[in-house]
Chains A and B, each alone.
Chain A
C-alpha cells in the first residue's frame, strides 16, 4: 500500500478495490456490540486539523479507536499560521518528535498535506486540503455507491454545485473516472474550474437536461460566500436553477440515488424533503466513512505485509 494518501491519483483501481473490500469487514465490526479490534494497538494516529470539521475528525477518530490505536487531536489555527508565518513545519516536526505513526491532516490551504509529507516520517493522510482533494471522502462515496450498483463501469454520475471550490469534486471525479464511471459536472459556468478538459468529465449548465440520464446525483454544498464573490447573483437564484427539489427528483431514474458530502444547506442545493427521501443515502455515507477510514488506516499502517485473509475480523 502507499505511504501517504495525498491524492486519489496515487491509488490504482485495484488498490481502490482493496480498500473497499477491506472496508466490508470493518463495516461488520461497526455493527457489533464491542466495536473494537486490536489491529493498531500501540500505534498513534494524530488528527491535525487546521480547519474545523467536527464530522471528518470524529469519523477518523472513531476509525482509529476501533482499530485500538491511540489518538491525539491537535487543532491548529490556519489563519494564525498563514497570517503570522508561524510555522506549519514546526508543528509537523513537533508531532514527528513525539513519534506519531500517522497524521490525518485537514487544512484550508491546498497542498498542505504534500508539504507536511516532506517534513515527517509518519504516514500523512489528506483529510481535505483547501479546494484540492478529499480522497477519503471519495473512497467512502465509492463504497456507498457500490452498495447500490453492481459495477462502477458505465455508471453515470452527476456532480452538481460548486465544483470550483470543491475538494470533494476533484477527488470524486478522479476516483469515479478511474473506476470506469462517466461523470458529468453540473453548475453555472462561474463555478466550473477553468481548463478542465483533462478531468475526463462532461460539463453541463442545465441540471434538468442531465437528471434523467443519471444513476447517481451527487450534490455539493454551495456556500454563502459565492454570492459575495459575484459567482452567483444569489443563493435563491442558485436554488432556482441548480437546487434539487421534489419536482426535479421526479425527472430522475427510479433507481437513481442522491448523495451529499455534508453538511447540507437545506433549501439551497437540496430541498429539505428531498434530503430525507428513501433514495437519499446521505446518512449511509457517514456510516461508511468510518469503515472506509478503518480500512485505509489498517492497510497503510497495520497490514503492510500481511495478507488480507489474516484480518482478525468476522
Chain B
C-alpha cells in the first residue's frame, strides 16, 4: 500500500486535543507520524493546505436497504455515499428484508462492508424478532458473532410493549450492548404524516404530536433506570425531549442521544408544498423545537449528529403525500448542512462539530480506530474537507441510489476533499476510488 503524506492541513482532533496546522504521514494503513515539516520519503504527497484534517465521520444511524431493497440502496452504494460524505464508519439499521435479527444477517452485512473496503459497516441488530415487537431477537448471538453487534434497536418503530422493552434492556446489558430506540408512542402518533401543529392544521394533514416522542422517551429512560442498561435515543426531535435527556444525564443515567442534520435545520414549514422529500419520521418539527435541539447539541445534551440516511425509490416518493414513505437521504450532505448552518452560524466550533460527528459517535459504538486520536499507531481513518467551499446540491451526482434529498438545489458550505479509510484514499473530490483492492481489509 502506498504511503501518503497529507501536507499542510489543519488537524482538528478532539480526542487528541489537537487543533494545529501540521502534516500527517500515513503508512501501512496507520498513522506513522504527525508534525510539521515531515519528510515524505517515498510517500505520495497530497497538499491539503487550507483544508481541515479530522478523524473520519461516524454515523450511528443509516439505512442501507441490503438485503431486500437493493433497488433503493446496497451496502456498496451506501458505503460509496458514506465515502463522499467523509464517513469512515456507518451503523446500518436492522430494518432490512430479512430483518437483521440473527447472526447470519449481521455477519453478512459486516462481511460485505469489509469486502468492499470503503468504510466500516457496523450492523445494528433488532431488539425483537422481525421487528414485530413480540419476542426478543437473538441478541446474544448477534453480540458475540463475528459482526460483534453492539447497538440494538427496532428503529422505524419503537418497542410499544414496556415489559418487553424492559426484558430486552436487562438481557442485552449482559452482553455490554446498547438499547437504542426510535421513541414513538404509536397510540398517539398513528396515522400522522407530519408534526402536529400550525402547519398540519393548515395543510389538512394528520399530525404526530411531539408528545408521542416525549412519552416514549420518558418511558425508555425510566426503564433504563430500572434496568441499568445503556440507552441511546435515536433522532431526537423535540424541545421537551432535550429536557428529558438533560434530566436523565443530570441523574447520572448512562444515556446518550443523537440528532439529525434535518431536525437541526429544517422545520414543518418546509411542507407547505407537500414535497415528499421533506416527509420523514420523526417529522420535521417547529422552529422552537429546532432552536432547543440546537442548544442541546451545543451544550452536549445531544451527544452526536446522525444522518438517518433513508433511501426511498423515486416512484414511492412521487406519490400523494400521505402515500409516500417517510425518510430522506443525508450521508452526502451532512457536512455541508452542519458546516453552513451550525458552524458558520456560530453554534458550534469546528472542534465541536468533529466531536459530534466523529469522536463521540465512535465512542458510543465502541469503535477502535475511529474518531481519533490521530496519533502514531492509530488506524488512518480520516476526512479532509474544505470548510469554506460553497457548492450546490445535485442529487444526480450522488453515489446513493436514491434522490430523496430535501437539500436538492440548495447551496451548502463545506465540502469533503478526501476520505481516507484504513490508510487508503477511498474518496477524492467527489469520486469514489475505483482502485480499492477488494477484500483487502476483511
Q: Is the CB of A114 within 8 A of B204?
A: no
Q: Is the CB of B196 within 8 A of A194?
A: yes
CB distance from A197 to the nearest CB of B (A): 7
Closest chain A residue to B316 by CB distance?
A85
Please tell me which stretch of B59-67, B320-328, B408-416 contacts chain A, meaning at least 4 of its Cβ atoms lie within 8 angstroms of it: B320-328
The yes or no answer to B391 lying at the interface (CB within 8 A) is no
Q: Which residues of B are found within 8 Å of A130, using beta-carbon distances?
A: 204-205, 322
The yes or no answer to B226 lying at the interface (CB within 8 A) is no
Q: Is the CB of B322 within 8 A of A196?
A: no
Q: Is the CB of B205 within 8 A of A111?
A: yes
Q: A110 and B321 in contact (CB under 8 A), knowing A115-B274, A193-B201, A195-B198? A: yes
The yes or no answer to B126 lying at the interface (CB within 8 A) is no
Partner of A131 from the list B204, B273, B274 (CB cut-off 8 Å) is: B204
Closest chain A residue to B318 by CB distance?
A89
The yes or no answer to A132 lying at the interface (CB within 8 A) is yes
Q: Is the CB of B320 within 8 A of A132?
A: no
Q: Which residues of B are found within 8 Å of A114, using beta-carbon distances?
A: 273-274
By secondary structure, the B interface counts as loop
Q: Is the CB of B319 within 8 A of A110?
A: no
CB distance from A102 to the nearest CB of B (A): 20
Q: A82 and B201 in contact (CB under 8 A), knowing A114-B273, A115-B274? A: no
The yes or no answer to B200 lying at the interface (CB within 8 A) is yes
CB distance from B188 to the nearest CB of A (A): 12
Q: A81 and B320 in contact (CB under 8 A), knowing A110-B205, A131-B204, A195-B201? A: yes
Q: A82 and B323 in contact (CB under 8 A), knowing A114-B273, A196-B198? A: yes
Partner of A107 from the list B196, B198, B320 (CB cut-off 8 Å) is: B320
The yes or no answer to A198 lying at the interface (CB within 8 A) is yes
A residues 99-126 near B (Cβ < 8 Å) are: 107, 109-112, 114-115
Interface size on A, residues (CB 8 A): 28
A residues 182-224 near B (Cβ < 8 Å) are: 193-199
Residue with the greatest number of chain B CB neighbours at <10 A, chosen from A107, A130, A170, A199? A130
Q: Is the CB of B201 within 8 A of A194?
A: yes
Q: Which residues of A are found within 8 Å of B318, using beta-carbon distances?
A: 87-89
The yes or no answer to B203 lying at the interface (CB within 8 A) is yes
The yes or no answer to B35 lying at the interface (CB within 8 A) is no
Q: Is the CB of B204 within 8 A of A170?
A: yes
B residues 273-319 near A (Cβ < 8 Å) are: 273-274, 276, 315-316, 318-319
Q: Is the CB of A194 within 8 A of B200?
A: yes
Q: Which residues of B are found within 8 Å of A111, using beta-carbon distances?
A: 203-205, 274, 320-321
The yes or no answer to B28 lying at the interface (CB within 8 A) is no
Q: Is the CB of A132 within 8 A of B197?
A: no
Q: Which residues of B are found within 8 Å of A193, using beta-carbon distances?
A: 200-201
The yes or no answer to A167 lying at the interface (CB within 8 A) is yes
Complex Cα distance, B204 from A131, in Å, reads 4
CB distance from B347 to the nearest CB of A (A): 27
The yes or no answer to A129 lying at the interface (CB within 8 A) is yes
CB distance from A183 to the nearest CB of B (A): 15
Q: Is the CB of B198 within 8 A of A109?
A: no
The yes or no answer to A133 lying at the interface (CB within 8 A) is yes
Q: Which residues of B are found within 8 Å of A82, using beta-carbon distances?
A: 319-320, 322-323
Q: A110-B321, A193-B200 are in contact. List 11 more A-B contacts (CB 8 A).
A: A82-B323, A89-B318, A112-B321, A114-B273, A114-B274, A115-B321, A130-B322, A132-B204, A194-B200, A196-B198, A198-B202
Give chain B's interface residues, CB within 8 Å of chain A. 196-198, 200-207, 209, 273-274, 276, 315-316, 318-323
Closest 4 CB pairs of A and B: A111-B274, A132-B204, A131-B204, A193-B201
Enumerate 24 A-B pairs (CB-CB under 8 Å) in ascending A order: A81-B319, A81-B320, A82-B320, A85-B316, A89-B319, A107-B320, A109-B320, A109-B322, A110-B205, A111-B203, A111-B204, A112-B320, A131-B205, A132-B204, A133-B204, A167-B204, A193-B200, A194-B207, A194-B209, A195-B198, A195-B201, A197-B198, A198-B198, A199-B202
